[in-house]
Amino acid sequence: MNYAEEYARRCVSADEAVKTVASGDVVDYGFFNGKPVVCDLALARRADELRDVSIYTAVSVPPIPAVINYPESFIYTDWHWSKLTRIMHQQVAPAYYSPIQYHRAPAYYRASEVGRRYRSWDYNRATMKRRRRWISICQAAPMDAHGYFNLGPQTSAASATIEAADVVILEVNPNQPVCLGGGEESVHLSRVDFIVEAPDDQVLFDAPVPSATAIDRQVAGHIMGHIHDGCCIQLGIGGMPGAVGAMIAESDLKHLGGHTEMFVDAYVDMIASGRMDGSRKAIDRYRCAYTFAIGSQRMYDFMNGNPALAAYNVDYTNDPRIISRNDDMISICNAVQVDLLSQVNAENMAGSQISGNGGMWDFVLGATWSKGGKSFICLSSTFTDAAGKVHSRIVPRFPEGTAVTIPRQMVDYIVTEYGAARMTACPSWMRAEKLIQIAHPDFRDDLIREAEKMKIWRRSNRV
């Protein structure tokens, strides 16, 4: 194959590429910074002639997708809500959340109902009606000399999406970093139907690095006592995990490993400081494995062509069986609320979706399966609402409509600024007692009264 000639033959304008989309089709927009921009604008320009086109993506990042402005033409679904998705849902048009087990995302495309439903002929021969098709549109880095396009810092399920699609459109962005990997981080020209070239000024979302608060640092301090030389670290997003990364970078720890779903700026600090070299990992030695990344431009520059990192499809990074092969796995995730039964809500508040379940389940399970591993679910003990009222994040019961992200039998450690409490194998009264001890002091008596009503507390248990 003459790659230059084939590239030129498949290279078209965005308007030409999206002509393939018809009413009723399903269009996958890629995940994270893989979301198309020029093709999204082109598709929105066809809003008047299209109806019921389903758009799927995960973690919408700026710029705001243009199709959201046309809810009669496009049905927008996010596999894992972001702050932008939440704003769009509240202020622009309805967006829909689709909960998944993140490590199974490639299987959903390849072999599950999603994939089977849409992989078909263009026409049903019996009815002669056009069947809906699956169309993949995602960003990639420019083609290399071997005819491959690197999928950038969002390997995730991109290759599986392309494999399952009837039509594949790549939006080539020269600013996508080339992320070296361990599997399915690139797609060959032969798998692509149309190529659309993005302008040189189409940059990735430069996410602000969350600033750690005093409470974040207190929570991180409780976790640091559980981390020793040779541990393998998974961090989620936010000030608390970031505070742990900063403390590690400034510590005297050594030979740490990294295995995570999300690569964040804190990993740059840990690797650059020499604390994280991956030398004691059982798998992916000397490399930090991840499946997607959102962060600063400094982080994207660090990732570009860096052999210290390995981008994998999510059915590798997030498979609990793979995670557990790393001894002394330390998983650090954030939560919104915990109830006195030790159930964890990490995705909604007052009936509103604010995030998604993502890979939290995967890493909680994988870390607890790991030899010497531990899972930490972190939250501040209180929050203040818009009216200035302070509420406890440790509650007797969740409000009606609250989703349980992590069931109580899976919970290992719950951490607030008041301590780290281990739940593993504890009876209900002991879980309630431990949680009340790490709740804010102003709410402890109320929690005790509610626990007594629930018959999971005995006054003699109070410490």
Tokens standing for residue 41 = 């604008």
Tracing tokens 């600063």 back to the chain, one arrives at 296
Task: Determine whether 261 is an active site residue.
Answer: yes
Phi-psi sector, 388: left (phi>0), alpha (psi -120 to 50), beta: left
Contacts of 125 (CB under 8 A, 6+ apart): none
Closest among 5, 10, 61, 7 to 37, alpha carbons compared: 61
Amino acid in position 271:
I
Contacts of 45 (CB under 8 A, 6+ apart): 15
Amino acid in position 191:
R
The single residue of 163, 184, 185, 261 carrying the catalytic annotation is 261
Compute the distance between CA of residue 27 and CA of residue 33 in angstroms, rounded to an integer.
Answer: 16
The H-or-E segment that residue 235 falls in is strand 232-235
Dihedral (CA of 154, 160, 163, 164) sign: negative
Q: Where are the beta strands (DSSP E) in 112-208?
A: 134-140, 148-150, 167-172, 181-183, 186-188, 194-197
Distances (CA, A) of 382 to 9, 24, 138, 376, 431: 58, 45, 40, 18, 19
Compute the distance between CA of residue 105 and CA of residue 164 in angstroms, rounded to an integer.
Answer: 12
CA 277 to chain centroid = 24
Compute the distance between CA of residue 111 and CA of residue 115 in angstroms, rounded to an integer.
Answer: 6
Contacts of 268 (CB under 8 A, 6+ apart): 295, 298, 299, 302
Which ranges of 225-272 would DSSP assign to H, the alpha helix? 239-249, 265-272
Compute the distance between CA of residue 289 and CA of residue 326 in angstroms, rounded to an integer.
Answer: 11
Roughly what angle, to the nearest 10 degrees, separates helices 265-272 and 239-249? 10
Compute the distance between CA of residue 313 and CA of residue 300 in angstroms, rounded to an integer.
Answer: 18
Closest among 294, 291, 333, 293 to 316, alpha carbons compared: 291
What residues act catalytically? 261
